[in-house]
Chains A and B, each alone.
Chain A
Amino acid sequence: MLEGGKIDSKQAILLMVAMVLPTAFLSVAAVTASLAKQDGWISILLATLGALLIAWLAVSLGLRFPEKTLFQFPEVILGKWPGKVVAFLYIWWYIHLNVEVLRQYGSFLVAAFMPETPISVFMLLIMAIAAYAVRNGLEVYSRVNELILPLILVSVVILNILAAPEMSMKRLLPVFEHGAVPIIKGAVMPTAWMGEIVTMAVLIPYLNKAKEAYRIAITATLIAGFFMLITQLADVAIFGPVTAAWLFPGLDAARVIHLANFLERLEPVVMVIWVAGVMIKISVFYWAAALGSAQWLELKDYKPLVLPVGVIIYALSIMAHDSLLDLFAFLGMFWGPYALTLFIVGMPLLLLVVAVIRGQGGSRH
């Protein structure tokens, strides 16, 4: 096998949470609030529900072929060439996903903290670290994540508690003012975020207890959904109608913290969450892209591909957008439908339906 590592269920849960949460924490509230206004939290609940279905879909699919990844079993299901095309599209998707995440990572640091530093510097540094993590394999960065993610989750909770004096729950009322349509529209982007749980279909062969995959995917989605929900509620309770105007409401929620004229300006905590969390997020997708490429080309090892894949991601990320606003417009308008219809729901559903009809693979239990 290309990847020799195995991770246990707890590591897998934490990894799947870290894959979704860091970028969502920072800007999910602006995305949902711009469409669903004060009802954004209902959008998040809806998105969590959607993501649970997606998690079920991905795991059902993956468990039919517990020895193969998302890049290998399409061949079994659809035949050699159609399967190769689907696998190739998934490799592209993981690269594209990483291109956007990497760009977001750099844009945030430049916009909020170091306006004079070129964005390429931040992006290069994080890619170098991620490349090192990916070369060392799944097991290694999963363990790093075991240290990092609890700190991130605790920080998010503490930040929200400290910002509580600035919150007014009345800003969340009236509920359901503009009806269901804006709420559903607002749920698209968070569903695409949490829908990244399809990565379970890559991860299943590397779980030491594959039969716990359902539990892993569902627990991870619920944890991610819960943290998105409290972030959404907190940000709207703090900023009300202003929430949608911020590019990074998660940062601005930390900026209003002031305790006893002493504990103020906690933005660096947000920066730590961002840098550490996005490092893991990028590593997961980077690993998936490199592993997928190796499996697609039927190589014996994915390590020689780490550098080339990294270079592609880095170069595309530099070229992808010419401004931060461009990036956000792209993510807001295009990303949700694109990722959801093709990669998160469309193709997995197609694969599952075909597999069931043809009776390929089978649950182990």
Chain B
Amino acid sequence: MPEDLSPAGAYPGPPALRVRALAEAFSATDLIRLRIEGPGRDAVELRRSTRVPAASAGAAPVEPESGSPIQIAEVKADLVGILHLGRPAPAEGQEVDAGRELAYVEALGIRNPVRASGSGRIRTVACRDGQAVEYGQVLFEIDRS
């Protein structure tokens, strides 16, 4: 959900400095994903790394092999309400089948299920339990490749 949509004005200066300043400010929050769109086509999107940074050189993050593009299916909120994660809470890395209920959005006292749009592995959990969500907000990303 958009909690503060004005950092573009708060971090003037060259783009590289602006992105660095944004990244520092972003790290200080518990936000999972932050997307800032300018008046034109420029946009900045920051995402929290889903992995603990590697402590040693031996545990390099897994990179997708070249030549096999990742197919990501986004699961979005289709209404405004309070999000409640399923029990047990869906976790990153977990395999899910298409149609599996991952969460529900409570709006006007009604539970509206949020289902996996395709089978695959949950790549990102982009929401928190009890969070207010807006229409079209990405809640999960499912790696279908």
Q: Do A and B bind each other?
A: no
Which residues of A pack against B, CB within 8 Å?
none
